[in-house]
Amino acid sequence: MMPRVDGGATPSRFPGRLDSSRASNSKIMVRQPVIGGSAGEPPKPPHTPAFTLGGGDNEQERLDEELRPQRLDDVVGQRAVVERLKIMLNAARKRKEPLGHLLLDGPPGLGKTTFATVLPRELGTECQITSGPVLSAPKDLLPYLTNASYGSILFIDEIHRLPHTVEEFIYPVMEDFRVDISLGEGLNARTINMRLKQFTVIGATTRSGMLTAPLRDRFVNREHLDFYTIEELADIVRRNARKLHTKISEEASVEIARRSRGTPRIANNLLRWTRDFVDSEAEGEITTALAQEALARREVDDLGLDRQDRRYLETLIRVFGGGPAGVQAIAHSMNLAADTLEDEVEPFLLRCGLLQRSPRGRIATAEAYQQLRLAVPDPDSVEKQKRLF
């Protein structure tokens, strides 16, 4: 069934934070959707700069923006991904064609938005940004589609959270650059077929497994971002300390990197915290001792586990006897959303071998007990207990 777009739909707000400092000089006009328009004065099109960020305007986004690399050469790590993207960019430039649609997946804070915003800068093209949960109906997507100029980029963050109706609406957009709009009802029903300029959709997801196969298949290019090495994170800490006009010793950068759970966003946040700590409690350069003290105050342990990670493992061990336990049950006990655990907590615990996933649920490993300084249960006594019940 074709998705219906309500007549005269005018988005009450064009969701977006304006990042004028980083926007290119060109401006895009936000045209109002011209579907089933009611008679009368056409609404005045608001101006938005080339980079428009939608879907939540919070403090973390502002902080990310401040330290975000601006060009592909400033991006640290992910070498194989960077190389492939460079090839795609070169080919697109040579052929003077838009990039193929690109899907970026990986845990939060690994650089999906960074890559998505660096690419249009490299191409000197416009970029509109929105996110899956903001697009509750096809009409919410329409202004972005009609705004999209030839070769521009539409970045959809959290694309796995697009509602089904919007997802169906986007298929012909991605494939043939057209939208099918049904207007009116009953005998008066009509279908309008609107052609769009050829542009590129960049989708980002923390859960590529949740994408439907038809949507995934429409992305000709797919890149998975993996956790960063300590050396790469130390490089990011050093570069960003310079951006923040903060002196940091070589070893202190490595200390922060070591506890950043393989994630640049966490490295940035720990760097900021350490800088605040040093400015408040000491003076001068961030040394290893000061970094250690700052991170201990923030309750980040030697592996980089924070309070939430430890609470997860403690719940699994104390409430569920170490597992196997379902993520929903753990989430209920912790009073958190299962999504948060699956996206933000589990990937790193799995990666560093503190957690196992089995068909019957999550299991804490012996290393998890050691990390929390808890006695590892004797497998024989566990078996006996199981037999008793």
Q: Is there binding between residue 64 and ligand ADP (CB under 6 A)?
A: yes
E strand or H helix that includes residue 216: helix 213-217
Nearest to 118 by CA among 94, 102, 96: 102
Going by C-alpha positions, the residue among 72, 77, 105 that lies closest to residue 89 is 72
Stretch that binds ligand ADP, among 50-58, 184-192, 262-270, 309-317 (CB under 6 A): 262-270
* Spatial separation of the C-alpha atoms in residues 192 and 144, rounded to whole Å: 18
State yes or no: residue 114 binds ligand ADP (CB under 6 A). yes
117 in active site: no
The rounded distance, in Å, linking the Cα atoms of 267 and 111 is: 12
Cβ nearer to ligand ADP, comparing 82 with 363: 82
Closest by CA to 313, choosing from 360, 351, 357, 345, is: 345
Classify 361 as helix, strand or coil: strand
Among 37, 108, 321, 324, binds ligand ADP (CB under 6 A): 108
Backbone angles phi, psi at 240, to 5 degrees: -75, -30
DSSP 35: S
Draw the binding track, 11-50, toward ligand ADP (x: CB under 6 A; -: no contact).
----------------------------------------
C-beta closer to ligand ADP: residue 113 or 274: 113
**Can 157 be counted among the known catalytic residues?**
yes
Question: What counts of helices (H) and strands (E) characterise the chain?
Answer: 16, 13
Q: Is 386 a catalytic residue?
A: no
Contact 203, 173 (CB under 8 A): no
Does position 54 interact with ligand ADP (CB under 6 A)? The reply is no
CA 198 to chain centre: 25
Asked if residue 3 lies in contact with residue 32, where contact means CB atoms within 8 angstroms, the answer is no
Smaller CB separation from ligand ADP, 58 or 280: 58
Among 5, 53, 75, 290, binds ligand ADP (CB under 6 A): 75
Minimum distance, C-beta of residue 115 to ligand ADP, in the bound complex (Å): 7
Contact between 68 and ligand ADP (CB under 6 A)?
Answer: yes
Residue from 49, 54, 111, 347 binding ligand ADP (CB under 6 A) = 111
Query: Which residues have a Cβ under 8 Å from the Cβ of 345 and sit 6 or more positions away?
Result: 308, 309, 312
Q: Which is nearer to ligand ADP, 216 or 265 (CB)?
A: 265
Applying CB under 6 A, does 52 fall inside the site for ligand ADP? no
> Is 236 among the residues that bind ligand ADP (CB under 6 A)?
yes
Residue type, 62: R
Query: Binding to ligand ADP by residue 352, rule CB under 6 A?
Result: no
Nearest-angstrom CA–CA distance, 175 and 219: 10
DSSP calls for 229-264: PHHHHHHHHHHHHHHTT--B-HHHHHHHHHTSTT-H
Nearer to ligand ADP, 108 or 163 (CB): 108
Which of residues 197 and 239 has its CB atom nearest to ligand ADP in the complex? Answer: 239
CB atoms within 10 A of CB 115: 23
Q: Which of 33, 55, 69, 323 binds ligand ADP (CB under 6 A)?
A: 69
Q: Which is catalytic among the residues 4, 48, 52, 112?
A: 112
Contact between 237 and ligand ADP per CB under 6 A: no
Of the listed pieces 108-116, 329-337, 367-375, 378-386, which binds ligand ADP according to CB under 6 A?
108-116
Shortest distance, position 63 Cβ to ligand ADP, whole Å: 7
CB of 54 to ligand ADP, least distance (A): 14
Q: Which residues bind ligand ADP (CB under 6 A)?
A: 64, 67-69, 75-78, 108-114, 204, 236, 264-265, 268
The catalytic residues are: 112-113, 157, 206, 265
